[in-house]
C-alpha cells in the first residue's frame, strides 16, 4: 500500500470520528475509496463552514480549496515517507514494516483548512 493511501486511510479514520462528534453521517460511496473520502471531507467542510458565523457568506468553492490543500499535504508527506523510510531502514537495520508513520490532523476554524503534521 502506498504511503499516500495509508495517509488517506488515516484521514478517513479521523474524519469518521469528527463527523460522529457533529452528528454527521459518513456516506458510503460506491466508487473508489478516494472518492468516498473526498465526498465525506467536502460534506464535513460544508458543515463546519455553515456553523461558523464568519464563514456563512463564504462560497462552496472554499471547501474545494480546503480539500485540495489537504490532498497536497498528504501527497507531500507521502513523498517524504517514500524518500525517508528506505534511508531510515538501512541506517537502523529495520524492516520497512517496523516503521509506523502517524499523522495528526487539525481543523483550523479561522482559515477553514485542515492542517496535517
Q: What is the pLDDT of residue 51?
A: 85
Cell reading at 16: 469518521
> Quick check: 115 and 106 in contact, CB under 8 A?
yes
Q: Residue 64: in which H helix or E strand, if any?
A: helix 61-92
* pTM for this predicted structure: 0.90
pLDDT tens-digit map of 64-73: 999 999 999 9
> Quick check: 41 and 15 in contact, CB under 8 A?
yes
> Quick check: 49 and 58 in contact, CB under 8 A?
yes
Picking from 29, 3, 22, the residue whose alpha carbon sits closest to that of residue 107 is 22
> Distance between CA 98 and CA 28 in Å, rounded?
31
pLDDT tens-digit map of 21-45: 999 999 998 778 999 999 999 999 9
pLDDT tens-digit map of 45-66: 999 988 877 777 777 889 999 9
Amino acid at each position: 500500500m502506498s504511503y499516500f493511501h495509508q495517509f488517506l486511510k488515516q484521514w478517513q479514520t479521523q474524519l469518521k470520528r469528527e463527523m460522529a462528534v457533529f452528528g454527521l453521517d459518513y456516506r458510503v460511496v460506491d466508487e473508489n475509496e478516494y472518492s468516498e473520502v473526498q465526498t465525506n471531507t467536502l460534506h464535513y467542510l460544508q458543515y463546519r463552514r455553515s456553523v461558523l458565523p464568519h464563514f456563512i457568506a463564504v462560497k462552496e468553492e472554499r471547501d474545494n480549496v480546503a480539500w485540495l490543500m489537504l490532498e497536497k499535504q498528504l501527497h507531500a508527506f507521502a513523498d517524504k515517507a517514500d524518500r525517508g523510510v528506505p534511508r531510515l531502514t538501512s541506517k537502523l537495520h529495520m524492516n520497512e514494516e517496523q516503521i509506523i508513520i502517524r499523522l495528526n490532523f487539525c481543523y483550523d476554524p479561522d482559515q477553514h483548512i485542515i492542517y496535517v503534521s
